[in-house]
Amino acid sequence: MEENFKRILREKVSELNLSLDPLQEEKFYLYYMALKEWNRKINLTSLEGEEEIILKHFVDSLSCIIPIRNENIERIIDIGTGAGFPGIPIKIYDEKYKLTLLESQKKKILFLEELIKILELSDVEIVWDRAENLGKDPRYREQFDLALARGVAKPNIVLEYALPFVKTGGIFLGQATPNNLSEWENAQKVVGILGGKTEEKIEINFDNITRIFLKIRKINNTPEKYPRRPGIPEKRPLLP
């Protein structure tokens, strides 16, 4: 089973023109086993098949590396990380990053704490809070070179969660599909309100999956009133 897992992982990762060493492959296997075990107790993922998890969680997360490879990135925040996607796969791939995982559900925090021990990852901080609260905290506000938020909310909402964390000159990496790209394009006014500018769109294809990344550069400080109180960005988005 383990060798089959690693073979599939190797094949799928190679479609991104990336490669993993044996230790990285082992860590992804341990991640997979922990995910399967904990998923019996709490709802971490609806995916069950080995290849499906490899492709739609691990490889999809690693695809985020492509748009940022030439950027000078040290600190990353993964907002609404859930079971650790995409932050932990990125950390496994390159341990130089200092990673903050933000999650509002305590049961998922417990999984992440256990997972970090299993994978023996250093420079990983796990924070149990909401983005609307943490984005006001001076220890986190405008402190990150890169913010990620995978499948958290609609673009006009997730932008309010994410951009306050990004330092001037840093990046929020929006993750779109052909089906929702128009929502990102319609949210460009929100990008500007929050101090960002969409620099480029990067399309990546692997295993019949298309991902469109929007590299949003932070060019101005986010106005102090954002993010608004918990729940407000979702109830009253900046643009409909």
Is there a binding annotation on residue 165? Answer: no
Residue 9 identity: L
**In whole angstroms, what is the distance from residue 224 CA to residue 216 CA?**
19
CB 215 within 8 A of CB 171: yes
Average pLDDT over residues 136-153: 94
State the DSSP string of 70-132. TS---EEEEET-TTTTTHHHHHHH-TTSEEEEEES-HHHHHHHHHHHHHHT--SEEEEES-HH
Q: What is the CATH number of domain 70-235?
A: 3.40.50.150
Four-residue CA torsion sign, 122, 81, 47, 184? negative
80 marked as part of a ligand binding site: yes
Q: Is pLDDT above 90 for 165?
A: yes
Strand partners, 77: 100, 147
Please give the residue that has the higher pLDDT: either 74 or 240: 74
DSSP β-bridge partners for residue 213: 175, 202
Mean pLDDT of 210-215: 97
Nearest partner of 10 among 61, 51, 46, judged by Cα: 51
pLDDT-based confidence at 4, cuts 50/70/90?
A: very high
Is residue 12 pLDDT above 80, yes or no?
yes
Model-wide pTM > 0.85: yes
Query: Binding residue per annotation — 83?
Result: no
- The domain segmentation of the chain, as residue ranges, is 70-235
Q: What is the DSSP string of 137-152?
A: -TTTTT-EEEEE-SSS
Region 80-96: what's the mean pLDDT?
97
The whole-number average pLDDT for the span 70-80 is 97
Residue 56 has pLDDT above 90, yes or no: yes
Helix H, strand E, coil C: the string for 191-210 is: HHHCCEEEEEEEEEEECCEE
- Is 74 one of the annotated binding-site residues? no
